[in-house]
């Protein structure tokens, strides 16, 4: 009996919600489920309703693009060219063209406080402690970036290389 009462209450709540949404002319967001499913597979990430779908769709569209120093197109892109393009498309934000300027353009964020869309900055064995690489944080410890050896890929922040050369996260407002 208690279970039936709870089911009835839930059904009434759903009817009220549907009626109120449909009566004010509000439509649920149009989602391209096949494209989101494809992006989730390509990025190896579970994309949830609350996530920034445009970020995942755009990032997936860049996967496999070859690395080209100074490149800013899908025929070849470097790390700051990738972040510049994704930010322009997804966030309607103009980033500077190089990693140093992009880091200056962002507010420092610790690794544990990263949110989807934050920039992630790294040094390299050749750059000493200076910023040399940038990517965009997705979620679950993963980020998209243009690797000089593999092109545009998704990597994990906990990989030994990225742990060793981590500088900081950055949030662009």
Residues marked active site are found at 79, 133, 145
Q: How far, in Å, CA of 102 to CA of 43, rounded?
A: 24
What is the Cα–Cα distance from 105 to 86, expressed in whole angstroms? 16
Q: Strand pairing of 72-73 and 76-77?
A: antiparallel
- Distance from C-alpha of 99 to C-alpha of 105, rounded to nearest angstrom: 10
Q: Which pairing describes strands 151-156 and 142-147: parallel, antiparallel, or unpaired? A: antiparallel
């Amino acid at each position: 009996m208690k279970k039936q009462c709870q089911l009835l209450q839930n059904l009434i709540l759903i009817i009220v919600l549907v009626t109120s949404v449909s009566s004010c002319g509000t439509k649920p967001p149009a989602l391209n489920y096949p494209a989101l499913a494809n992006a989730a597979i390509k990025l190896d990430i579970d994309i949830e309703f609350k996530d920034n779908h445009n970020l995942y769709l755009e990032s997936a569209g860049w996967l496999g693009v070859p690395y080209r120093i100074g490149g800013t197109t899908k025929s070849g892109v470097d790390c700051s060219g990738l972040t510049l393009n994704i930010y322009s498309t997804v966030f309607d934000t103009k980033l500077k063209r190089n990693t140093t300027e992009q880091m200056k353009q962002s507010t420092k964020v610790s690794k544990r406080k990263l949110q989807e869309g934050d920039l992630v900055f790294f040094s390299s064995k050749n750059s000493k402690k200076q910023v040399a690489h940038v990517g965009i944080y997705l979620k679950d410890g993963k980020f998209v970036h243009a690797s000089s050896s593999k092109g545009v890929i998704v990597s994990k922040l906990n990989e030994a290389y990225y742990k060793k050369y981590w500088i900081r996260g950055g949030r662009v407002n």
